[in-house]
Amino acid sequence: MSGDTSAAAASSAADHDGVVGPGTPLLEVRDLAVEFRTPEGNVRAVDGLSYRVAAGRTLAVVGESGSGKSVSSLAVMGLLPDTARVTHGEVLLAGEDLLSLSRREHRRRCGERIAMVFQDALAALNPVHTVGYQLTEALRRRRGMSRRDAGRRAVELLDLVGVPNARGRVKDYPHQFSGGMRQRVMIATALALDPDVLIADEPTTALDVTVQAQVLRLLAEIQAERRMGLVLITHDLGVVAGMADDVTVMYAGRVVERAPVRDTFGAPAHPYTRALLHSIPSSGAGGDGEGRRLPVIPGRPPSPAALPTGCAFHPRCDTARDVCRTDPPPLEAVAVDRASACHFAAEVLASHDVPPPVEHEEAAHD
Amino acid sequence: MTDLSTPTTAARAPARPAADAWRALRRRPDTVIAAAVILFFAVMAAFPGLFTGTSPRACPIRDARLDPQGWGGAHPLGTDALGCDVLATLVHGVRPSLLLAVVVVGVSLFIGVTLGLLAGYYLGWVDYLVSRTVEVFLVIPLLLAALLVLSLFQGVDLGSGTFEVILLPAIVLILFGWMPYARYVRASTLEAKNLDYVTAARSLGASDLRIMVRHVLPNAIGTVTALLPTSVAGVISAEAVLSFLGIGVRPPATSWGIQIEQGSEWVTGGAPHILLAPLICLVATVLALVVLGDALRDALDPRLAR
Amino acid sequence: MTEHVLEVRDLVKHFPVRRGLLRRTVGTVKAVDGVSFGLDRGRTLGLVGESGSGKSTLARVLVGIETPTSGQVLLDGQDVARLSRAGRKQLRRDVQMVFQDPYTALNPRMSVGEIVGEPFAIHRVRPPGGRAAAVGELLELVGLDPGHVSRYPHQFSGGQRQRIGIARALALRPRILVCDEPVSALDVSVQGQVVNLLQDLQDELGLSYLFVAHDLGVVRHIAHEVAVMYLGRVVERGPSGAVYDGALHPYTQALLSAAPVPDPSVRLAGPSAADAPGGGAIVLEGDPPSPTDPPAGCPFHTRCWLAPLLGGGRRIPEPCAATRPALEPPRADGGHRTATHDDGEQHGHEHARDEHTGGGPAHLAACHFARPLPAPERVGS
């Protein structure tokens, strides 16, 4: 185990030279709450989400469907649908609260400094315009670039994201690109205005494994090069482990655990995180179709419209006790840089019963 | 694992689509009003005697173009150019108008859905044939075709029963009314037939007929059901146009179309009520049906119902 | 030698590409291009591949939704194509399918009872005890409340819907279940439940599974044997442990290496990954080529990371670009094998023959230079 941590530490130190610490956040979300209006009444999709992203750092927001991870990023971008509204909290971009601005101003500010990459590039790109047009549109409108300069910049951007023959392909339409290339094009459009923060919502979920690796590597390289803050929204703990510095685990709209990635994966401080890590079928260990039951989390994520009382995770939790059914646990510090919303966080943290997730990889490693 | 067996929306457990649809309808007061309007005209069609005691065929010419006299007067809505009571004509014109609408929409729906389903499901030459036919019928102007039918049936005595008087306009409007249904159903069939539940049925060995009727149609019909109310409105308006040409509802029977046609001559001639009375009724019906159509579409869409 | 429950011999499925007014055939999508394997009772064959590898088409051929262009599908040693009409209907009962997307796999306008009971209606079977009782039993079997027969699919969560789909597939007591990405649309915490259910059902009912997936972790967990597909062909096949721990084909090695593992010490990017000796994670360049026009020779040679290394720099070794490698056991020394002389037209006849070499399933790879990856190269330190 110690070998891993030192390697991870070394790699993360190399990633950001130790210059920018977590003390200077580019983007900070404070106590964000989002509600949806439904015929059955108001449903709270996000409740008390806080996080901060510093330059050159990657924050992963992890959760299952209905955990509120995607809704929260829409709120940050000012892109919530009409049925939803932010009821509480602040979104600070370099110290300025975006939520206090008008919606129009909010989006304008975001367009300049925060960019977003979506899961489905085919839906996110306009099918009737060439990718060149979509790349130059923002440059010309926001930056007042001439058509020629913007065109040159578009080719540069496509080059940057590794689209082969960029000069020839600016005239192509989105459907003429493969899935992986389309995702690259979307990343290029996101980078057009040199954003400080990139929010990537399940950027590789729709891609094949080998293409996913390419796109993730691209994202990490660009981020390191430009010292962007990256918010990675995903359900894939493998991607989190490979990409992120810090992780925020969400369950039923609330943050259940917040920690540096290597700490969480080594010793989770919330039963949900622990169970989630357990339940990943690994391509490294076990298997052969024999001896075989996967450890699972019983039940399923609750609907935001009908949350259990007390701790929302208690019906599925293996360490739940009476207090969990009645009192919602607050998010409290359990160690340096770490917080957990569990009444028995210290106990969970102390129980080092998590088997190393990938045994043979480590054997090869040591 | 016991927890697994509780459905997501346990609160509204006994719901069925029909019940869901009704609940969604009730939440919107405009739909209730619209439904009341339609019900009102339906009752009028069934029992005209409840609304007027005057015969629409008693037309003393000396009483022509009387102004509306209000309730209690001999002619509450006045009389038309020939001296016929406007209210009586209106009330007795409901039945042919609504009957025409129901027959035309019903038959063209049947034809359109059948052809669209077959074309979308089998594609190939079936689709080629249906699609080209649709295009041909879309290209021929309705009025030209109406004149053609008119000349074909000239001199043929069709009788004067409730059904016979609407036969001619019905034929014309059905002939030129089925194409939208065919196109919509074809498009949604194309979409639905590639969904996994259709593949599942096919892998189980279900027959084409079963797949079409049980799996594709119920999911493809949604877009069309919302089209129906506007189509009914369209038919009633189109009948008015056909009346201009003389192939609308056959006199001595009356219809809103005929009334509108006749009334339009006197709008500027000092008797606008002859036109306004049937026109208001037509607009009310059309609007009510449009509102109902919207509500129906929302109610049948499972994504909106949730 | 026991007979396989299901055997596939040199299966080919091509789709014509038609263009223009006259619908002329301008090309062929070689979705499945010569695939052979056998599946035994109570066993699971994992079929792994990326989109466009033909794994889903293969699944659809096996359940009879598509008819093969050539090749044979044998059920208990009987050629399915030669079956009578009645025999084919029986086949439909023996081989059932579980679909990927639990939201499109169930007809939204049918109740759960109608969905699960539909197989009985289609085959005009009256199960012992009546249809309603049988549906109740099926729901119980997959862990759902039998009292929920009159509910509609939208009232259930993704995992529950997948259980309904499994119940429908089990209605006619099939012997083989073709699972096309059955858990990839589900939440992580629910995936395990469905995988465990499938395994319990296998133990209880002696089912054989063809488990199609792109998630290597799930396949390793459930499959006894694994076949890796690339551009319509099986490039590697063998017992699950052998394939995962000692992959022979460079494509399999890249796939395994590219799958993100939940271990923060294995970075996907950054200096530790890129500059490490051996390259850390193997990241393939480019996208898979189009199955309309697969490369000559080894279909993988255009993206292969190993070929340039072997060719001493930029050049690709001659056999890779010229001859199509057969699926066979690797040579002991791991060196270059004598090229098999099949020229695209009659490829794959060897594939059918190499079925039973030795006792258990052999570990085969379709690569001229098949060799296990030396362990230290996998993770940089």
Record: contact B8-A303, CB cut-off 8 A: yes
Whole-number pLDDT of residue C332: 57
Considering the domain architecture, whether residues C264 and C295 belong to the same structural domain is answered as yes
Kindly indicate the confidence band of residue A297, based on its pLDDT and cuts at 50, 70 and 90.
confident
SS (H, E, C) chain A: CHHHHHHHHHHHHHHHCCCCCCCCEEEEEEEEEEEEEECCEEEEEEEEEEEEEECCCEEEEECCCCCCHHHHHHHHHCCCCCCEEEEEEEEEECCEEHHHCCHHHHHHHHHHHEEEECCCHHHHCCCCCCHHHHHHHHHHHHHCCCHHHHHHHHHHHHHHCCCCCHHHHCCCCHHHCCHHHHHHHHHHHHHCCCCCEEEEECCCCCCCHHHHHHHHHHHHHHHHHHCCEEEEEECCHHHHHHHCCEEEEEECCEEEEEEEHHHHHHCCCCHHHHHHHHCCCCCCCCCCCCCCCCCCCCCCCCCCCCCCCCCCCHHHCCCCCHHHHHCCCCCEEEECCEEECCCCHHHHHHCCCCCCCCHHHHHHHC
Residues C82, C162 within the same domain: yes
pLDDT at position B10 over 90: no
| Cα distance between residue A258 and residue A269, in whole Å | 9
Q: Is residue B50 part of a domain?
A: yes
- Would you state the pLDDT for residue A312? 92
Kindly state whether residue B7 falls inside one of the protein's structural domains.
no
Residue in chain A nearest C260 by alpha carbon = A238
Burial tier of B185 (Cβ tally within 10 Å: 0-12, 13-18, 19+)? buried
Quote the pLDDT of residue C150.
Answer: 86
**At residue C153, does pLDDT exceed 80?**
yes
Nearest residue of B to residue A297 by CA position? B1
Question: CB neighbours (10 Å) of residue A148?
Answer: 9
pLDDT band at B17, cuts 50/70/90?
low
Residue C199 pLDDT > 80? yes
H/E stretch holding C365: strand C364-365
pLDDT of residue B30: 85
Q: How far apart are CA B135 and CA B119, in angstroms?
A: 14
Write out pLDDT tens, residues A16-54. Answer: 333 334 456 889 999 999 999 887 788 899 999 999 999
Q: Kindly report the nearest CA distance between residue B12 and chain A, in angstroms.
A: 10
Assess whether C97 and C160 both reside in one domain.
yes
Amino acid, single-letter form, for residue A27: L
CA–CA gap between residue B187 and residue B180 (Å, rounded): 11
Residue C82 has pLDDT above 90, yes or no: no
Q: Which domain holds residue C13?
A: 6-223
The per-residue pLDDT for range C341-359, each reduced to its tens digit, is: 333 334 444 443 444 444 5
Q: Pick the residue with more confidence: C115 or C78?
A: C115
Mean pLDDT of A309-320: 91
Q: Can you tell me whether residue C171 is helix, strand or coil? A: coil
**Is the distance from CB of A172 to CB of A187 less than 8 angstroms?**
no
pLDDT band (50, 70, 90) for residue B126: very high
* Partners of residue B10 in chain A, C-beta under 8 Å: 306
How remote is the C-alpha of C197 from its chain's centroid?
19
In the predicted structure, residue A318 carries a pLDDT above the cut 80: yes
**Residue B5's closest chain A neighbor by CA?**
A299
Q: What is the CA radius of gyration of chain B?
A: 23
User: B302 to chain C, minimum CA–CA distance in Å?
Assistant: 8
The reply to whether C78 and C132 lie within a common domain is yes
Instruction: Report residue C313's pLDDT band, with 50, 70 and 90 as the boundaries.
Output: low
Helix orientation angle between C131-141 and C112-122, rounded to the nearest 10 degrees: 120
We report the CATH number of the domain holding residue C49 as 3.40.50.300
CB within 8 Å: A303 and B9: yes
Q: Could you state, in order of their start, the residue ranges of all structural domains in chain A?
A: 259-282+295-365
Going by pLDDT thresholds of 50, 70 and 90, the confidence category of residue B262 is confident
When divided into structural domains, chain C yields a total of 2
Do residues A216 and A243 make contact, with C-beta atoms less than 8 angstroms apart?
yes
pLDDT value of position A141: 83
pLDDT interval class at A259 (50, 70, 90): very high
Report whether pLDDT(A254) > 90: yes
Residue C374: how many other CB atoms lie within 10 Å: 9
CATH code at position B83: 1.10.3720.10
Contacts of A15 in chain C (CB under 8 A): 270-271
Q: Domain boundary residue among C168, C198, C223?
A: C223
Is residue B42 domain-resident?
Answer: yes
Q: C281 with C356, same domain?
A: yes
pLDDT band at A208, cuts 50/70/90?
A: confident
pLDDT of C229 above 60:
yes
Flag whether pLDDT at A12 surpasses 60.
Answer: no
Gap from A42 CA to chain B (nearest CA, Å):
14
Q: In terms of pLDDT, which residue wins out, A240 or B20?
A: A240
Mean of the pLDDT values across residues B60-76? 74
| pLDDT for residue B13 | 40
Q: What is the pLDDT of residues B198-217, one digit of tens each?
A: 999 988 888 899 999 989 98
Query: What is the pLDDT confidence band of residue B251, given thresholds at 50, 70 and 90?
Result: low
Within a domain: C336: yes
Measure the CA angle with vertex A308, ends A304 and A309; round to 5°: 125
Which neighbouring-strand residues pair with A29? A51, A91
Question: What would the pLDDT profile of C240-259 be if each residue is shown by its tens digit?
Answer: 989 988 889 999 998 888 88
Closest CA to C9 of C79, C59, C63: C79
pLDDT tens digit string along C330-345?
A: 765 544 444 443 333 3
The pairing of strands A58-62 and A229-234 is parallel
Do C218 and C268 belong to one domain?
Answer: no
**Is B189 domain-assigned?**
yes
What value does the mean pLDDT take over residues C61-87? 87
Q: Which of C65, C122, C155 lies nearest to residue B8, judging by beta carbons?
A: C155
Split into its structural domains, chain B has a count of 1
> Is the per-residue pLDDT at B44 higher than 70?
yes
Chain A hits for B9, CB-CB cut-off 8 Å, are: 303
How many Å apart are CA C87 and CA C320, to the nearest integer?
A: 43
C195 pLDDT more than 80: yes
Rounded distance, CA C179 to CA A340, Å? 38
User: How is residue A119 written in tokens?
Assistant: 């899961």
First to last CA, chain C: 47
Query: In terms of residue numbers, what domain contains B51?
Result: 18-305
Q: What percent of chain C has pLDDT over 90?
A: 35
Neighbouring subunits of B (3+ Cβ pairs under 8 A): A, C
Give the model's pLDDT for residue A305.
83
Two tokens, residue A85: 């509204």
- The rounded Cα C371 to chain-centroid distance in angstroms is 23
pLDDT score for C88: 79
Average the pLDDT over A90-99 and give the result: 88
pLDDT at B158: 67
ipTM of the complex: 0.80
The partner residue sitting opposite C122, judged by closest CB among B13, B197, B210, is: B210
- Average pLDDT score over residue span B123-131: 92
DSSP state of B85: B
Taking 50 as the threshold, does the pLDDT of residue C311 lie above it? Answer: yes
CB contact under 8 A, C196 and A293: yes
**Residue B306 binned pLDDT confidence (cut-offs 50, 70, 90):** very low
Judgement on whether residues C52 and C138 belong to the same structural domain of the protein: yes
Any CB–CB contact under 8 A between A298 and chain B? yes
Strand partners, A260: A246
Of A231-240, A275-284, B39-48, which range is least confident? A275-284
Average pLDDT, chain A: 82
B274, part of any domain = yes
Q: How many CB pairs under 8 A join A and B?
A: 15
**Pick the residue with more confidence: A278 or C269?**
A278
Would you say residue C228 lies in a domain?
Answer: no
**Residue B196, phi then psi, degrees to nearest 5:** -60, -30
A238 part of contact set with chain C, CB < 8 Å: yes
The whole-angstrom distance between residue B81's C-alpha and the CA centroid of its chain comes to 29
Number of Cβ within a 10 Å radius of residue C312: 8
DSSP H helices, chain C, are: 55-62, 85-94, 112-122, 131-141, 158-170, 188-205, 216-222, 240-245, 250-258, 271-274, 306-310, 318-322, 349-353
Q: Are A119 and A236 in contact (CB under 8 A)?
A: no
Distance CA(C214)–CA(A9), nearest Å, equals 31
Confidence class for position B63, pLDDT limits 50, 70, 90:
confident
Minimal-distance CA residue of chain B relative to A39: B306
In chain C, what are the helix, strand and coil shares in percent, each to the nearest 5? 35, 20, 45
Q: Which amino acid is at B246?
A: G
Q: Position of tokens 């690709």?
A: C316
Yes or no, beta carbons of A5 and C265 under 8 Å apart: yes
